[in-house]
Chain A
């Protein structure tokens, strides 16, 4: 019997790939968004598997609860397009598929062919994170030793610490960016005309007579 991680990984992988395939192949844009939900949820599962439970929870809150709602919201607002199904041309499909297959193959080839650096902190047994012995910690480089963290219990607190120390500048930039986005999105989506057109287009009565 394989261990839990294997089973969960393949389960999540199947969900994520099914979701991705659905996104790719679905014609209906709302269904595309629902397939995306599957991928996002599975990605959240991966984050939990990778020991980044905080990122996983953030993924659920922001991505699934926020961004996806926003996307579906956008779909509903723009769904009254007469051309509901956007049929891509065959040549487009062929080109896209070709490029992507080549790209995927190249990426996989590169990934599998590379010997990645493995820091001693990341060495762990099958069941979880190996706690380093004090001797191993002493042996680490000083820069790494200061930032030594566990990936579980204290991980969230350390993420916070890093955000406000090592990553302070990006953090501030992102907060500024969010503010800009807030204002920009509100500006872009503002009604172009005063939202009280006092004209009757006659649609109502006509509909009534029919």
Chain B
């Protein structure tokens, strides 16, 4: 019990793993492109949590924080591009259902 109450690295790692799986599952089941994007965000967040947890409990240096900032910035960039693609996709196919976008016609 005291193991559970005293927050340590493992707590964060387990949490990150669960969030990661949830994100992955979201990416797998959702057919709405934006839903998939949301799943990606979940995965990235779980990675961030891991980075910061390792940074705090293992190295004690700031590298984890710096990389986490990179991740957050890149996630924003990725969301912007993904949404632009979805909009383009939507204009062409009138849907954001990714299963419909398998035509490969230019």
Contacts and interface: CB of A to CB of B under 8 A. Distances in A.
Are A and B in contact, CB atoms below 8 Å, in the complex?
Answer: yes
A29 B38 CA distance: 9
Contacts of B32: 29, 86
Given A177-B74, A184-B84, A50 B34 contact: no
Contact of A162 (B19, B26, B62): B62
Interface in B14-65: 14-15, 17-26, 28-32, 34-35, 37-39, 41-42, 45, 48-49, 52-65
Interface in A106-150: 107-108, 111-112, 116-123, 126, 144, 147-149
Contacts, number: 254
A121 B42 contact: no
A159 B84 contact: no
B63 A78 contact: no
Nearest to A54: B65
A185 interface: yes
B6 A100 contact: no
B62 to A, nearest CB: 5
Contacts of A66: 76
Contacts of B59: 117, 119, 121-122
A59 B19 CA distance: 16
Given A67-B76, A86-B35, A185 B84 contact: yes
Contact of B73 (A73, A147, A148, A174): A174
6 contacts: A20-B42, A83-B95, A92-B29, A119-B60, A159-B65, A189-B83
Given A81-B94, A181-B81, 16 more contacts: A13-B15, A16-B19, A43-B45, A43-B48, A50-B53, A52-B56, A77-B90, A88-B30, A99-B24, A103-B21, A103-B24, A107-B20, A122-B59, A123-B60, A162-B66, A181-B80
